[in-house]
Amino acid sequence: MRHLIDPLDITMEESLRLMDLADRICQNPAAYQDVAARKKLATLFYEPSTRTRLSFEAAMLNLGGKVLGFPDAGVSSATKGETVADTIRVISCYADIAAMRHPKEGAPLRASRYSRIPVINAGDGGHSHPTQTLLDMLTIRRRKGRLDHLTIGFCGDLKFGRTVHSLIKSLARCEGMKFILISPEELRVPDYIIHEFLEPKNIPYVEVRSLEDALPDLDILYMTRVQKERFFNEEDYVRLKNSYILTESKLALAQKDMAVLHPLPRVNEITLDVDNDPRAAYFEQVQNGVYVRMALIMTLLGLKDPITGEVAFEC
């Protein structure tokens, strides 16, 4: 049995095989509609997240499976002092697989150690959110036809944004990538990302302040939200939140086939006039998220692809 706690828990080869499966699902969803019949997914959300929770639930329902769980900690036994270790042992009696979001870093990892069912980390604090990384990579591959030799810009809050950290770490395993890190000084990417993941492999990167200067060079622009809840004081938030807003007029500086990604929800960092630009890929990401979660659930449950007769990778 395997879990998915950190994006690097699966190799790039395995990730690619998951994406292949997601592509097949996208092309023929009806072929997969009963694959997980009678299986149950538990969604354990100690912190609310409509998008991610409902994406997992839609994925499981699309596979013919069933869903139970809780949408926030207030309706869970956490309020009675139960540990995640005990909770997952209980949930192991109720479901075949679990997706857990938790405000505390490491909680899903700890749960996985006591679990009798596969655990998927659906986001733990500022730490990891591996299915977001998978859907980001799937969207990039679909838009550009490859996951190598790409120049990728990350823009906005690169300090607290876990989706950015995870995606950089994952893409650092691909050939010929170049990263342009666009942020205010206060929100630069943490040094450990650079020292542990980019420099050892001599992956080219540059840290810049101006979105507009960077735009012409990018194959992919990954925008992020400046999350109010990550700031310690209101003043810093107000000063920085309007930095790095992408507008249709700025987009004129970009390549015609660049793709704009965003983990959502957005507040105002991408203006509404960008939504109809063909480069906007952020709602495609949502759809791809369902497909890649379907692929992941199938794989962790050991369910064979009815088209190929194989599992994406062994668990």
**Catalytic status, residue 129:** yes
Question: Is 241 annotated to bind ligand?
Answer: no
The catalytically annotated residue of 38, 79, 80, 256 is: 80
Question: Is 300 annotated to bind ligand?
Answer: no
146 vs 283, beta carbon nearer a copy of itself: 283
Report in angstroms how near the CB of residue 235 gets to a copy of itself at its nearest: 18
At residue 179, what are phi and psi to the nearest 5 degrees?
-115, 135
Question: Is 265 annotated to bind ligand?
Answer: yes
Residue 270: how many other CB atoms lie within 10 Å? 24
Q: Is 220 helix (H, G, I), strand (E, B) or coil?
A: strand
Structure tokens at 91: 């949930």
> Interface with a copy of itself by CB under 8 A: which residues?
33, 38, 40, 42, 45, 48-51, 54-55, 57-58, 61, 66-72, 74-77, 79-82, 85-87, 89-91, 93-95, 225, 227-229, 264-267, 272, 283, 286-287, 289-290
27 vs 50, beta carbon nearer a copy of itself: 50
72 vs 217, beta carbon nearer a copy of itself: 72
Residue 108: how many other CB atoms lie within 10 Å? 31
Report in angstroms how near the CB of residue 151 gets to a copy of itself at its nearest: 28
Instruction: Enumerate long-range contacts of 197-200, CB under 8 Å, 24 or more apart.
Output: 197/168, 197/169, 197/172, 198/168, 198/172
Report in angstroms how near the CB of residue 133 gets to a copy of itself at its nearest: 18
**Catalytic status, residue 101:** yes
Question: Is 11 annotated to bind ligand?
Answer: no
88's enclosing H/E stretch is helix 84-91
Report in angstroms how near the CB of residue 107 gets to a copy of itself at its nearest: 15
With b meaning 16 or more CB within 10 Å and e meaning fewer, what string describes 46-81?
bbebeebbbbbbbbbbbbebbbebbbebeebebeee
43 vs 151, beta carbon nearer a copy of itself: 43
**Catalytic status, residue 52:** yes
What is the side-by-side order of every strand in the sheet holding 259-261? 205-208, 178-182, 151-155, 220-223, 259-261
Positions at the binding site for L-aspartate: 80, 162, 225
Positions at the binding site for carbamoyl phosphate: 51-52, 101, 129, 132, 264-265
Catalytic residues: 51-52, 80, 101, 129
